[in-house]
Amino acid sequence: MRLFRLEVKRIMKSHRTLVLLAIAILMSVVMAYLPISFESINRPGENGKVIELDGLSAIKFKKDYFEKTAGDITPQKLAESLRIYQSCVREYGTLDDVPLEVYIENIMAIRPMLKGLTEAFADPKTGIGADLMDIEPDEVEQYFYEKCASHLDDIMNLEQKDYPTARQFATDKYAKLNQPLCIYSGMSRDAFDYIELYILVLSILCIAIAAPVFANEYQTGSDSILRCTKYGRVKLAVTRIMAACSIFIVMFILGMALHLTILNLAFGTECLKTSFQILFSIISLPNINLGQLQIILVLAGLLSVLATISCTLFLSAKCKDSLTALLISIVILFLPIFTYSAIGGASWLSTLLPSSGIGMQNNFLYQLGNFNFLHIGGMSLWTPCVILILAAIEVPIFLFLAIRSYCKHQVA
């Protein structure tokens, strides 16, 4: 335990570590503020003027305004909302011609519910969304959730026509969805994008701290002395890894806790009861709400960061200098992002790497909302499951390799 405390103290005394920790906390606040500042809404004022609300004032107005439509999205409620929408559009010709006062009074509150209708009633052959004016309210009242399941089958037949196991997996998982779906005004899609972006920032900062853990001692020559001591080699390597990982875990938890606390205080916690499908796609597979989504993103992000850091620790023990370990680690971190963009979707290469759940379009959040499958033999594996399983396997493998590489290291 004394050796562990000394290693923690050694890492924390580094000027680089202190600066990076300060940046992590600062970025936590900044990246929580950004989606809040992006919120805006127009409302009519006196004498026909339009008042634009931004930030917290816009969020408060939306929460009060959308309160009348919050709650369960029953087929009856959805059908009545569609009738109101169609009545207003028919009266004024097009949606763009509807006066702002009428739009705010009759349409704006029901638009978030109605966007799922265009998906559910999409063309089964092309997947193109339906026009709200072409949908029959009576049909919505009777068959809305059946149409959602039918649309999922149509999409899976289009995207996974050669893989029956993928289609069956999606059908079975969607059948477990809690119905009716719930909707509450609050947290936007941007807020969740920034959660994933902050995890990427944390990964970069943690890599910068982890890269010198072993390699820096090689450069200074102090490692040659330390490995000759009573607790050198295996015990020293294990202690350094434990100390480094403890710092990363605490850093990640503190940063994410601060980030989510700011978001939840700004947007309110009631919105966390909103179904995942409302913020993403009406046929998304996860049977969770936004509160559960936050927890999942934190846990999945922590696992992916640990896998990435474990790889960096291995490179630090393997490489002769910290700069080489840092550069290779950064390449590995960003490789899934570039691979996913280049290929145009998920692949084994973009999923096998420890950082596969971290990034932009390839991140874990987007994989939850998409229908990406990896196929091997007769099996079809949903990419979020693959990412978590592989990350859990890679953490102990890379840590073992780090210990082994450190113990075998020889001074040139």
| 93 lies in the same domain as 193 | no
In a domain, 12, yes or no: yes
Write down the pTM of the prediction: 0.91
| pLDDT mean values, one per 10 residues, the chain (412 residues) | 82 88 95 92 72 87 85 92 91 85 85 88 84 91 92 90 91 92 89 95 95 79 59 79 93 96 93 92 94 96 96 92 92 91 80 90 91 88 94 96 82 52
Asked if residue 319 belongs to a domain, the reply is: yes
Three-state DSSP class for 267? helix
pLDDT at 13: 85
What's the number of domains the chain is made of? Answer: 2
What pLDDT is stored for residue 47 in this prediction?
A: 67
Parallel, antiparallel, or unpaired: how do β-strands 50-54 and 71-72 relate? unpaired
Give the pLDDT of residue 67.
85
Out of 123, 145, 160, pick the residue that ends a domain.
160
Same-domain pairing of 254 and 397 = yes
Q: Are 44 and 100 in contact (CB under 8 A)?
A: yes
Q: Residue 100 falls within a domain, yes or no? A: yes
Q: Are residues 254 and 209 in the same domain?
A: yes
Range of the domain at 7: 2-37+185-408
Contact 354, 310 (CB under 8 A): yes
CA dihedral in degrees (346, 386, 203, 360; nearest 10)?
30
Domain boundary among 114, 144, 160: 160
Residues 144 and 194 in one domain: no
Cα(135)–Cα(234) distance, rounded to whole angstroms?
68
